[in-house]
Amino acid sequence: MDAKDQIKKTVTENEVVLFMKGTKDMPQCGFSSRVAGVLNFMGIDYADVNVLADADIRQGIKDYSDWPTIPQLYVKGEFVGGCDIITEMTLSGELDQLFESKGVSYNKEAADQIRAANA
């Protein structure tokens, strides 16, 4: 299976997927750490893909989404964005709305705490 097929399989078989540098338990860059931290704090059940472990996946995900940077978040097979977009969506409440519209369970109280801490 080539990288594109592997990526497609991953994003379609998991409700939420984060392509990142490192893992959700041990991020290897600040941007990946920020997005993983938000998802972890909000109690999102998500698959993490360490792009540092496979150069084909690292380049392949950029080609797949036509987005040049990592991390990349996918919800129900749809590309949502990278660190800046996820940060903005979290602070505006748009990420909550996305999870609700897609039927992804999350901790609303935790999301509110993130916004309160950044107000």
pLDDT band at 1 (very low <50, low <70, confident <90, very high): confident
Topology given in CATH for the domain delimited by 3-117: Glutaredoxin (3.40.30)
The pLDDT tens digits for 56-99 are 999 999 999 999 999 999 999 999 999 999 999 999 999 999 99
pTM, to two decimals: 0.96
83 is in an annotated binding site: no
- Show me where the domains of the chain are located: 3-117
Per residue, what are the HEC states of the chain?
CCHHHHHHHHHHHCCEEEEECECCCCECCHHHHHHHHHHHHCCCCCEEEEHHHCHHHHHHHHHHHCCCCCCEEEECCEEEECHHHHHHHHHHCHHHHHHHHHCCCCCHHHHHHHHHHCC
> Residue 57's pLDDT is what?
97
